Amino acid sequence: MSVKILHKATIVTSEKEAVGSVVIMDESISDVIYAEASDFDWQISNILEKYPDAEIMELEGKYLMAGGIDAHVHFRDPGLTHKADIATESRAAVAGGVTSVLDMPNTSPATISAETLKAKLDSVQNRSLANIGFNIGATNENHDQIVAMLDGEAGIPPKMVGGVKVFMGSSTGNMLVDQTGTLDKLFSIKERPVLVHCEDEATIKANMQAAVERFGDEIPFCEHENIRSRSACIKSSIKALEKAISHGTRLVLCHISTKEEIEMVRAAKLSNPSIIAETSCNYLWFCDEDYDRLGSRAKCNPSIKTTKDRQALREALLNGQIDTIGSDHAPHLPCEKEGPYAKVPSGLPSIQQSLPVLLTIADQEDIPLTRIASVFSENASALYGIRRGCIRKGYAADIVIFDKDKEFIVKSEDQYSKCGWTPYEGECLKGFIEKVFVNGKAVVEDGKIMTDLDENTTYGKLLKFSEL
């Protein structure tokens, strides 16, 4: 039996921030002992007496949290692996303190059936450094297939299905669901969260036509905010929230980018408390002022909005209106991000920066780290029923240790994503990640993936859902 004692770190959970020690036995957390306990020293001595070969890691002055659960990533595998793949992107995730991910279905082929989901599950085969699971994609035609999967009638164990992703606005992969009857059926699903991408297609098409008439082939990238406009987001989100209230849906409103949507979710939760507000660090960090500087490297869907929207999202993070953070990690090669506006794909690689960005914003806005623990892992753990993402006895030993005050400059050469770039390049962030454990095994040391990882060892595991 392997025993590790992560000794005298400042442990951060959604409930408190306090000095203590975490005991890992093999792959799980076997105990959490706080220094404020009167028998703290006795408990540690007792463990060492029972397990004399236990490894003690002295972490005084360092911070310890559960590894992140990012339920919104695009690892491009299968079919688009020239951009990214499970092996490379899981390394980027873990380097950023994210130890569990849920991949989105808009790959090639799209994950919209039992057959394509099984192929993804079979393809992982010890390729992922992070724990990994998969969301199933909805189309205008496959509702019955999704229900069969969730009922265990499609040859796939229901516990292997994460959430149901519904694109109410088209994005990379063109899986638009726009039939009212189909949407009502999908929003009636109760077994899993329903994740929605909300942008009104007709509004976007009209805005794009107006931009072409005004600029021709030379549409500036700052127009992205006007083409994928706030009204497109708001109109579609109203529709989704109304349906969620009507059907009692466990709805995740993905990558919220506007002040209005935050207020809409707050009001909708009064009628349906199961509604979840997700945003990305991209909307908490960037704003419309960054288009001139970043150009195509700021192009993502939904679009990055104004400074007022950014501030409203930060305030929502502080006051608890944001429930989860999904990176929407969406790599494209640098050469694919070159060219005219209409030809450049949307999407930003960002998962490696999620936790440092959150920690930096927490410092800037005086947000308690307990809130960061909630949105980074604990709320997603409860939402998906995963026995991970909490510093709690019996949970998987997925842990990140960081220096809260250590600053660093983001550099492209330090990125593990296959695409090799990040829109955060050159930014000064706080919260240097020093160590990461996945299932009790050390995988990151001093901010870098360890070079002596055993290629025959399974680090990341397939996620199983609805097990709490």
Calpha distance 168→372 (Å, rounded): 29
In this prediction, residue 170 has a pLDDT band, given cuts at 50, 70 and 90, of low
Reported as type and span, the H/E element at residue 269 is helix 259-269
SS3 402: strand
Q: Judging by DSSP bridges, how do beta strands 448-449 and 441-445 pair with one another? A: antiparallel
Residues of the chain with CATH 3.20.20.140: 67-384
SS3 237: helix
pLDDT beyond 70 at 174: no
pLDDT beyond 70 at 375: yes
CA distances from residue 154 to 192, 312, 385, 466 in whole angstroms, order as listed: 16, 43, 21, 18
Neighbours of 289 (CB within 10 A): 13
Q: What is the pLDDT of residue 2?
A: 95
Pick the CATH number of 67-384 from 3.20.20.140, 3.30.960.10, 3.30.230.10, 1.20.1530.20: 3.20.20.140
Calpha distance 128→2 (Å, rounded): 22
Q: Judging by DSSP bridges, how do beta strands 3-12 and 63-66 pair with one another? A: parallel
**Side-chain half-sphere of 177: how many Cα atoms within 13 Å?**
29
| DSSP strands (E only) in 121-258 | 131-137, 161-167, 194-197, 251-253
Calpha distance 431→449 (Å, rounded): 17
Reported as type and span, the H/E element at residue 394 is none
SS3 423: coil
Q: What is the pLDDT of residue 1?
A: 86
pTM of the predicted protein model: 0.97
Calpha distance 280→260 (Å, rounded): 16
Q: What angle do CA 449, 451, 455 make, to 5 degrees?
A: 100
- The string of pLDDT tens digits covering residues 179-233 is 999 999 999 999 999 999 999 999 999 999 999 999 999 999 999 999 999 999 9
Cis peptide before 193 (omega within 30 of 0): no
- What is the distance of C-alpha 461 from the center of its chain? 17
Neighbours of 405 (CB within 10 A): 12
Burial class (CB in 10 A: 0-12, 13-18, 19+), 111: buried
Residues of the chain with CATH 2.30.40.10: 3-64+395-404+430-449
- The string of pLDDT tens digits covering residues 286-327 is 999 999 999 999 999 999 999 999 999 999 999 999 999 999
Lowest mean pLDDT across 28-32, 122-126, 312-316 = 122-126
Reported as type and span, the H/E element at residue 102 is strand 98-103
In this prediction, residue 172 has a pLDDT band, given cuts at 50, 70 and 90, of low
User: What average pLDDT does range 66-84 have in this prediction?
Assistant: 98
CA distances from residue 155 to 113, 150, 159 in whole angstroms, order as listed: 11, 10, 12
**Is the Cβ–Cβ distance between 255 and 323 less than 8 Å?**
no
User: What average pLDDT does range 132-154 have in this prediction?
Assistant: 96
389, two tokens: 């993402």
CA distances from residue 382 to 70, 345, 389 in whole angstroms, order as listed: 13, 33, 9
SS3 424: coil
In this prediction, residue 51 has a pLDDT band, given cuts at 50, 70 and 90, of very high
Closest by CA to 208, choosing from 184, 222, 224, 193, is 224
CA distances from residue 66 to 3, 31, 53, 350 in whole angstroms, order as listed: 18, 14, 25, 19
SS3 181: helix
In this prediction, residue 171 has a pLDDT band, given cuts at 50, 70 and 90, of low
Q: What angle do CA 222, 225, 228 make, to 5 degrees?
A: 130
Calpha distance 207→323 (Å, rounded): 31
In this prediction, residue 169 has a pLDDT band, given cuts at 50, 70 and 90, of confident
- The string of pLDDT tens digits covering residues 271-282 is 999 999 999 999
Calpha distance 22→28 (Å, rounded): 10
- The string of pLDDT tens digits covering residues 399-446 is 999 999 999 999 999 999 999 999 999 999 999 999 999 999 999 999
Amino acid in position 10: T
- Fold category of 3-64+395-404+430-449 in CATH: Urease, subunit C; domain 1 (2.30.40)
**Side-chain half-sphere of 431: how many Cα atoms within 13 Å?**
24
What are the residues whose beta carbons fall under 8 Å from the beta carbon of 427, sequence distance 6 or more?
285, 353, 409, 410
Q: What is the pLDDT of residue 455?
A: 83
